[in-house]
Structure 1
Amino acid sequence: MRDSASFGAASLGVLLLVGAALGTGVARTAVDVSDGLTWLPDSPRGEVVQVNPASGRPEVRLRVSGGDALLDVTQKDGLLVILDRRDGQITVLDLATLLASGRRSAPPGPATKVLVSEGRVYVVDRVAGTIANADPVTLVDVGKPWRAGKPLADVVADEAGLVWAADYDGRLHTLEWVADGFRERSGEQVRGAGPATVLVPHARGVTIFGLDGGVVRQVGTGQDVSGSTPRLPGEVLAAQSSPVGLAPAAVPGQGTVVFVSGDRVVRVDTSRLGCPVPSRPVVFRDKVYVPCRGDGKVIVLDRAGKRGGADLDTPGDGDPEIVLDDGKLFISDPGAERGVIVDSDGSTRSVTIRSPSLPVVDPDRPPSTEVPSPPRPSPRPELPQDRDQGRPPESPSAGVPTGGSTAPGGGQVPGAPPGVTVTLANRSATELAVTVSWGAALDNGEKVTGYTVDASGAFTGGTRSAQTTETSAQLSFPCGGSTFCSNGRLDVSVKAWNRVGESTPGTRSWSVPSASDPSTNTPPPQTQTQPPTNDPPPTNDPPPTTTTTTDPPYTPPPPPPVTVPTAGAAVITTITAPYGPTDYTRRVAMSPPSDWAGHDGACQLVNTTQGYTVTISCGATSADIAVETGPNRIVVRAVARDGSRSVDSAVKNAPGPREPQCGKYACFGSGHIVELSPTGKSVDFGQAGAGIGFLVIAVVVQVVGRRRPEEEESER
Structure 2
Amino acid sequence: MKPGKKGAEMIRARSGWWAAAVLATVLLLATLMGGGRVGLAVAAADGSAWLWSRSAGEVDRVNPDSGKVDQRRAVTDSRGHRVQVTQNDRFLLIHDLDTGRVSSLDLNGLGFSGRLDIGTRGDPHLAMGSDGAALVERTTGAVRALDPATLRPVGPVLQLPGPLVGGEFDDAGLLWVAVPRQGTVIALKVSPQGASVVRTAEAAPPDHDLTMTVLDQGALVVDRGGRDLVVATGDGTRRVTAPVPLTGAMVPERTHGGLAVVTVPGAGSVVTLGDVRKGGPVRSFPLTDPVQEPAVPFAGKVYLPVRETGQVRVFEPAGRQTGMLSMPAGRGDMELQVREGNLFVNSPGSTDALVVGGDGVARKVGKFPGGPGRGGERPGKPGGEASSPPLIPAPPADPVFPDPFDPIIPPERPEAPVPTTPEAPPPGRTETPRPPAKPGSRTPKPRTPSRTPTTAPTTQSPPRPTPPTRTTSPTSRPTTPRPTTPRPTTPKPTTPKPTPTRPKPTPTKPKPTPTKPKPKPTQTRNPYTPAQVCNATAGGNYQVQRSASFPGGRIYQLYSASTKKNCAVTMKTTDIGKGTNAWIRLQSQKGGKVASDNGTFKYYAGPVFVLAPGDCVRYSGGASGASASSGWGNCG
Query: What TM-score bracket applies, with the shorter chain setting the length?
Result: 0.5 to 0.7
C-alpha deviation, 1:301, in angstroms? 2.1
Q: Which has the higher helix share?
A: 2
Q: CA RMSD in A?
A: 4.1
Change (3 A) 1:234 1:98: same
**In structure 1, the residue corresponding to 2:398 is in which secondary structure?**
strand
Q: Does 1:466 align with 2:404?
A: yes
Contact 2:136 2:167 in 1 (8 A): yes
Amino acid at match of 2:407: L
Show the counterpart of 1:257: 270
3-state SS, counterpart of residue 309 of structure 1: strand
Percent identity, aligned pairs only?
26
Partner Cα distance (1:406, 1:238) in 2: 34
Rounded to whole Å, the distance in 2 between the matches of 1:645 and 1:38 is 48
Deviates more, 1:158-167 or 1:223-232: 223-232
CA contact (8 A) 1:58 1:355 kept: no
Matched, 1:329 2:267: no
Q: Give, in whole Å, the separation in 2 of the partners of 1:187 and 1:147.
A: 15
**Is 2:37 the counterpart of 1:39?**
no
Aligned partner (choices 167, 183, 199) of residue 179 of structure 2: 167
Contact 2:115 2:395 in 1 (8 A): no
Question: Where does the alignment leave 5 or more consecutive residues of structure 1 unmatched?
Answer: 1-31, 373-404, 415-447, 454-464, 468-473, 487-513, 516-551, 559-638, 648-716
Q: What is the CA deviation profile of residues 131-155 of structure 1, one whole-angstrom value per residue up to 9, with x for unaligned ones?
A: 1101111111100121113211222
Give the structure 2 partner of residue 300 of structure 1: 314
2:482 corresponds to 1:643: no
Structure 2: gaps of 5 or more residues: 1-42, 371-376, 423-430, 439-503, 513-636
Q: Give the conservation status (yes or no) of the 8 Å contact 1:250–1:278.
A: no
SS at match of 2:359: coil
The equivalent of 2:410 in structure 1 is 478
Tell me how far apart the structure 1 counterparts of residues 73 and 417 of structure 2 sit (CA, whole Å): 43
Matched, 1:81 2:101: no
**How far is the alpha carbon of 1:208 from its aligned partner?**
1.0
Q: Distance in 2 between matches of 1:640 and 1:161?
A: 47
How far 1:49 sits from its partner (Å)?
Answer: 1.0
Asked if the contact 1:287–1:303 (Cα under 8 Å) also holds between the matched residues in 2, the reply is yes
C-alpha distance in structure 1 between counterparts of 2:61 and 2:417, whole Å: 48
2:228 counterpart residue number: 215
- From the superposition, tell whether residues 44 and 124 of structure 1 become closer, same or farther in structure 2 (CA, over 3 Å): farther
Q: Deviations over 1:62-105 (max 9, x none)?
A: 22242332222111141111122222222111123322211112
Conserved? CA contact 2:174–2:189, under 8 Å: yes
- CA deviations 1:226-259 (Å, max 9, x no partner) are 112343322623251222x311232345543223
- Change over 3 Å in CA distance of 1:109–1:332 after alignment to 2: farther
CA–CA distance in structure 2, aligned partners of residues 193 and 296 of structure 1? 39
Q: 1:253-279 deviations in whole A, cap 9, x for unaligned?
A: 55432232133364534433xx32152
Match of 1:347 among 343, 355, 361: 361
Aligned to 1:359: 379
User: Does the C-alpha gap of structure 1 residues 406 and 113 become closer, same or farther in structure 2, counting only changes over 3 Å?
Assistant: closer
Is 1:452 the counterpart of 2:452? The answer is no
Instruction: Indicate if the aligned counterparts of 1:50 and 1:60 stay in contact, CA closer than 8 A.
Output: yes
- Could you say which residue in structure 1 is the equivalent of 2:521? none
> Aligned to 1:213, what secondary structure does the other structure show?
coil
Show the 5 A alignment for 1:556-705: 642-644=507-509
Matching residue's letter, 2:193: D
Query: Using a 3 Å threshold, how does the CA distance of structure 1 residues 223 and 310 change in structure 2: closer, same or farther?
Result: farther
Distance apart, 1:369 and its partner CA: 11
**Residues 625-672 of structure 1: CA deviation (Å, up to 9, x unaligned):** xxxxxxxxxxxxxx966434899xxxxxxxxxxxxxxxxxxxxxxxxx
1:242 match: 256
Give, in whole Å, the separation in 2 of the partners of 1:120 and 1:98.
19
Question: How far apart are the structure 1 equivalents of 2:294 and 2:136?
Answer: 20
Question: Tell me, what secondary structure is at the counterpart of 2:128?
Answer: strand
Give the alignment partner of residue 116 of structure 1, picking from 125, 128, 134: 128
Q: Which amino acid aligns with 1:49?
A: D
Q: Which has more radius of gyration?
A: 2
Structure 2 partner of 1:151: 163
Alignment of 1:24-423 (within 5 A): 34-64=45-75, 65-108=77-120, 111-169=123-181, 170-177=183-190, 180-192=193-205, 194=207, 196-220=209-233, 224-229=237-242, 230-234=244-248, 236-243=250-257, 245-252=258-265, 254-262=267-275, 263-264=279-280, 266=282, 268-272=284-288, 275-277=289-291, 279-304=293-318, 306-316=319-329, 317-355=331-369, 357-359=377-379
Q: What letter matches 2:284 in structure 1?
A: V
Paired residues of 2:161 and 2:179 also in contact (CA < 8 A): no
Q: Give 1:110 deviation, angstroms.
A: 7.8
Q: 1:643 to 1:175 in 2, by over 3 A?
A: farther
TM value normalised by structure 2:
0.53
**Structure 2 SS opposite 1:449:** coil
* Residue 451 (structure 1) shift: 4.2
Could you tell me how far apart the structure 2 residues matched to 1:195 and 1:45 are? Answer: 42
Distance 1:206 1:345 in 2: 26
Aligned-pair CA distance for 1:482: 7.0
Corresponding residue for residue 626 of structure 1: none
Counterpart CA distance in 2 for 1:360 and 1:102 is 26
Distance 1:278 1:475 in 2: 36
The answer to whether the Cα contact below 8 Å between 1:239 and 1:282 also exists between their aligned partners in 2 is no
Q: CA deviation at 1:53?
A: 2.8
Structure 1 residues 322 and 450: alpha-carbon distance in aligned structure 2, compared to 1, 3 A threshold:
closer
- Aligned AA (2:196): R
Contact 1:333/1:339 (<8 A) preserved? yes
- 2:388, 2:113 → 1: CA distance? 24
Higher relative contact order (CA 8 A, sep 6+): 1
Closer, same or farther: CA 203–485 of 1 in aligned 2, 3 Å: farther
